[in-house]
Amino acid sequence: LEALQRWVAEQAADEELSAELSENFRASASAEAALLMLEAEEAALTELERVLSDRLEALNRAHAEAEARRTQVYKDYRESLACVRSAKRRRGPREASNGS
C-alpha cells in the first residue's frame, strides 16, 4: 500500500512538473515570438528613418535652391526697378508723365 501511495505521489509530482515545464515552454515561445516581432519592427523603423532622412535631405536641397532663385529674382527685380527709375529721371518729369 505504501508503495502505491508513493507511486501516486510521484505521478502527481511528475504531472505538476510536466505542467510547469509546458508553461515555461509556452512562455519561452511567446517571448521568442515577441522578440522576433520587435526585431522586424526595428528593421522597418530603421528603413523608415533612412527613407525619411533621404527625403529631408532632398527637401533641404530643394529649399536651398528655391531660396537662391528667390534671391536672384529679387536682385534682378531691384536692378530692373533701378533701371526704370533711372530712365524716368533721365527723361525728366514732363516726359515721364506724358509717356505713361
Residue 10: pLDDT above 60?
yes
Q: Is the separation of the CB atoms in 91 and 99 below 8 Å?
A: yes
Mean pLDDT for 74-97 is: 85
Would you place residue 93 in the very low, low, confident or very high pLDDT band (cuts 50, 70, 90)? low
Q: How far apart are CA 76 and CA 46, in angstroms?
A: 45
Residues 6 or more apart in contact with residue 96 via CB below 8 angstroms: 88
User: ∠ CA(12), CA(15), CA(19), 5° rounding?
Assistant: 140
For residues 81, 87, 92, 97, the Cα torsion angle rounded to the nearest 10 degrees is -60
Overall pTM surpassing 0.85 (yes/no): no
Q: Is the separation of the CB atoms in 58 and 66 below 8 Å?
A: no
Q: How far apart are CA 61 and CA 39, in angstroms?
A: 33
